[in-house]
Structure 1
């Protein structure tokens, strides 16, 4: 039985390209000629749209190349990547917190000092409690007024700010005087207590003086003579020894003052030699002023936060 070749013949006929007409061949020839001359022209001709001749079976290669060639885009520069901010201890703003804590601590000490000293001025319990309330109120005004007066000045209320600063000045002087009285009272009491201590040297000098006085009294009972005068000189000598022992105790009653005087003299190569009263006044001033700086310190702390 002979093989059936009809299907193969049909498929070959179907796959054979359709013959071009004379007009289509002429147009294709012109397109190929234009494609060869395109590089020499400054402005290459626009290729014909293949959709215009939908019945044409052949599309020029130049037109297809022009359609599928991608355009060159400008290079894209990547934006710089900023790393996330790292929180360091310096950004935690520890300074305002510490200053605020110190301001409240100084304020508490100042209120206690002014209340105690003001109450001690009262002649009765009722007067003492009134003075206590006055001292506490004055210290609270001195604490909160600087911040408020500064805010009023900042928002333009200058008259109210000046009134606030004037009130703060009055209360500040009041609380400083109270602090001065508190410091001077306590420092003098402690110094006297230390100066009146009985040391072994003082005890020995007192015993020797007592013996000298007893000997003088026995010798001078019958009249003033040679031995009586000797016992009297011995009494004077033993009294001087006792005074020297007491002076030595008084000198070490305030070791801070003595050390400060020696330090100033050493640092100035002997040029400055302050007396104990100078350092005592400086210490009293600092003890009176420092507890009253709570309001100003709070003002500085608020400025640091801003």
Structure 2
């Protein structure tokens, strides 16, 4: 009886035999599949980072500024926002300085031409250049003051700009009118072949009239007078054609407007001359406005 009990105890506590390599691999594969499925299920059931942050977290915590709360949309928008300046604003800045340079030069030249002496001319030059520089930089300064809520100072700046702008436009009108008139007169005074022939024919007619009318007014004298009047009209027509050719832009613009509007608008030469004068005087003075617009466009929103 004792021997049987001892034998059963020995059989129960007998050590297991070590597993071979194929047996261990077969036992490891099921455990690996179970571990992988458990990890996938735990990741799917885990809450995302967006659900962990309450929606009203930034509003409920006044001590935390809104700019410190990072959201996916904010990160994405910051990632795709370009950091370079717009090319159009840079070109607009160059155009502003180019027009400003033209305006300062023309206004300074015309202001100096008004002086009766050298000292007066240089003083007028200083006034013209200073006024044009104020008209250039004042819009940007006034807009900055308005943006910083200094409204009274900004309005005062705009008032100063209006005075300098009117002065600069007036000087530009003087510069353009003087130069256009001189050039047109010089072109109109050209002696063409038609004008030379008309002048020669008129001279011959006047000589013949003087010889015929020397002894009194008669039938042939009146005929020579009519010939002189006819030759003078031919000369006036030839000179008028030269005068019209002196400013071909005016005639071409009138024809173009009449053609585009099918004859509904037919401006006169005087209308186009005034329009051209205004544009030539006004465009060099808008450099300050262009500079203000370019700076506002470059400012980050």
**Are residue 72 (structure 1) and residue 38 (structure 2) matched?**
yes
Question: Match for 1:292 among 264, 285, 291?
Answer: 285
Q: Is the 8 A contact 2:199 2:235 kept in 1?
A: yes
1:235-254, Cα deviation, whole Å (9 max, x unpaired)? 11100110111111111111
Q: Secondary structure at the match of 1:122?
A: coil
Change in Cα spacing, 1:287 to 1:72, as seen in structure 2 (3 Å) is: same
Separation of aligned partners in 2, 1:116 and 1:142? 17
Residue 104 of structure 2: aligned partner: 111
Residue 268 of structure 1: aligned partner: 261
Separation of aligned partners in 1, 2:215 and 2:248? 49
Q: Is the 8 A contact 2:85 2:298 kept in 1?
A: no
1:98-125, Cα deviation, whole Å (9 max, x unpaired)? 1111111101000001100000111110
**Are residue 258 (structure 1) and residue 251 (structure 2) matched?**
yes
Question: Match for 1:303 among 293, 296, 300?
Answer: 296
Q: Secondary structure at the match of 1:72?
A: helix
Q: Would you say how many aligned residue pairs link Structure 1 and Structure 2?
A: 249
Q: How far is 1:287 from its partner?
A: 0.3
Q: Is the 8 A contact 2:254 2:269 kept in 1?
A: yes
- Taking structure 1 as the reference length, the TM-score comes to 0.75
- Unmatched segments (≥5 aa) in structure 2: 1-5, 18-26, 45-75
Question: Match for 1:180 among 144, 157, 173?
Answer: 173
Question: Match for 1:148 among 141, 145, 150?
Answer: 141
* Segments ≥4 residues shifted beyond 6 Å: 64-68, 85-88
The Cα RMSD (Å) is 3.0
Q: Secondary structure at the match of 1:73?
A: helix
1:263-306, Cα deviation, whole Å (9 max, x unpaired)? 00001111111000000010000000000011100111112212
Change in Cα spacing, 1:214 to 1:67, as seen in structure 2 (3 Å) is: closer
- Unmatched segments (≥5 aa) in structure 1: 1-17, 26-54
More helix by percentage: 2
Residue 170 of structure 1: aligned partner: 163
Separation of aligned partners in 2, 1:278 and 1:160? 40
Rg (Cα) greater in structure: 1
